[in-house]
Amino acid sequence: MESALPAAGFLYWVGAGTVAYLALRISYSLFMAFRVWGLGHGPGVGPELGEWAVVTGGTDGIGKSYAEELAKCGMKVVLISRSQDKLNEVSREIREKFKVETKTIAADFASEDIYDKIKTSLEGLKIGVLVNNVGISYEYPEYFLEIPDLDNTIKKMLNVNILSVCKMTHLVLPGMVERSKGVILNISSASGMNPFPLLTIYSATKGFVDFFSQCIHEEYKSKGIFVQSVLPFFVATKMSKIRKPSLTVPTSEAYVKSAMKTVGLKTRTNGYPIHSLMGTIVCMLPSSLYLKLSMYRGKSIRARYLKKAKKN
Ligand SMILES: CCCCCCCCCCCCCCCC(=O)CC(=O)SCCNC(=O)CCNC(=O)[C@H](O)C(C)(C)COP(=O)(O)OP(=O)(O)OC[C@H]1O[C@@H](n2cnc3c(N)ncnc32)[C@H](O)[C@@H]1OP(=O)(O)O
Ligand SMILES: NC(=O)C1=CN([C@@H]2O[C@H](COP(=O)(O)OP(=O)(O)OC[C@H]3O[C@@H](n4cnc5c(N)ncnc54)[C@H](OP(=O)(O)O)[C@@H]3O)[C@@H](O)[C@H]2O)C=CC1
């Protein structure tokens, strides 16, 4: 009986410490959310950083919305994606709506031999903002060995999601460092914060983007460079295939408007208030429970997809 008392005291302090730690974390997150989204803050970007912004995958979804928001801030915009027709259409829209100059570069980030062409096209431009947005995912969640055309998928996903971020940073960062200013926004994913089984390669590439961003920020912040890792949950775009926006699934326009408010304030962000709340909850779960839940979620999406595919 007597020996149980010290153990009870110990457990009391462990419990109290845990509650205090969680309360502090939640309060800090709420305070930061209020500071960023409640108090408001200038865009943190503009032509004073360098008159041009470069957006990879800038003709649709999140990339297109970044291109528009940056043009709204008065920046000239370079769009890079595969289809010249889409590039022409989106750059015309941006020129007419925001009265800024635009440039387009048609390139497929699945290939490794595009960077000389991109380098030549960017020569002489003062680039203030780089948005490493281009990314591809799975058609549906799948076990690693069952992924259709696995070898090709591995190569393509690594080239588009990882190599593009490294190579574009290599092309643009030296100019930023020389001028002692610049912002790089790297679009990772909530599935890069925590592993998401059945989207294994995608999730791992996004983890790379998150680590890369944090490291480059730390290396170059003293040179006037701000690097941000953006970690969205679902956004209604062609990639997510979610057509109807909802409370937790914003349109790309709403998402990017919100994420832009965090530039200069947060080096890692879920970008959107509800997504930040989801991120905070997910990060507080024990990792074994999180993995069970995400595997369960992935399996149910996979089953639904395969059932639908069998019917058609
Ligand atoms: C709050 C804390 C709770 C803790 C619990 C933890 C659980 C673990 C959660 C882990 C979170 C990790 C989140 C990962 C986020 C993420 O990956 C972000 C990205 O990077 S998205 C891009 C990469 N991801 C993918 O590619 C995922 C693979 N994609 C898919 O699996 C599918 O595209 C899809 C499931 C999103 C859609 O599937 P499908 O095409 O088969 O469509 P459907 O099933 O027929 O959909 C019917 C209907 O419903 C809409 N819909 C589907 N999912 C959602 C959703 N999550 N929210 C809102 N609406 C959804 C879909 O649009 C269809 O509607 P229609 O109008 O009929 O088109
Ligand atoms: N949507 C979501 O729910 C989430 C998305 N993300 C991330 O956000 C980023 C943007 O996603 P999202 O807006 O949904 O994507 P979309 O599919 O809506 O848009 C993709 C853009 O990239 C271009 N693109 C695609 N493949 C290539 C390629 N191989 N080479 C060059 N350009 C290419 C497309 O143009 P074109 O086809 O003409 O080449 C298009 O402009 C990605 O990195 C994604 O991982 C992260 C979390 C959630």
ipTM of the modeled complex = 0.89
| pLDDT tens, residue by residue, 142-176 | 999 999 999 999 999 999 999 999 999 999 999 99
3-state secondary structure of 286: coil
| pLDDT tens, residue by residue, 25-79 | 888 888 888 888 887 677 789 999 999 999 999 999 999 999 999 999 999 999 9
Q: Which atom of ligand 1 is nearest to the CA of 277?
A: 1
Q: What angle do CA 165, 178, 101 make, to 5 degrees?
A: 65
Ligand 1 binding pocket mutation candidate from 138, 157, 189, 234 (most atoms within 8 A of CB): 234
List residues near ligand 1 (CB under 6 A).
137-138, 140-141, 189-191, 196, 199, 202, 233-234, 239-244, 246, 249, 278, 281-282, 293-294, 297, 301, 304-305
169, two tokens: 């940073």
Fold (topology level) of 48-310:
Rossmann fold (3.40.50)
Marked catalytic residue, from 66, 138, 202, 272: 202
Q: What angle do CA 207, 208, 213 make, to 5 degrees?
A: 100
Average pLDDT over residues 118-145: 98
According to the model, what pLDDT value does residue 3 have?
62
The number of residues in the chain equals: 312
According to the model, what pLDDT value does residue 2 have?
56
According to the model, what pLDDT value does residue 36 have?
83
pTM beyond 0.90: the answer is yes
Average pLDDT over residues 303-308: 96
Can 202 be counted among the known catalytic residues? yes
* CA 9–ligand 2 middle distance (angstroms): 54
Domain boundaries, the chain: 48-310
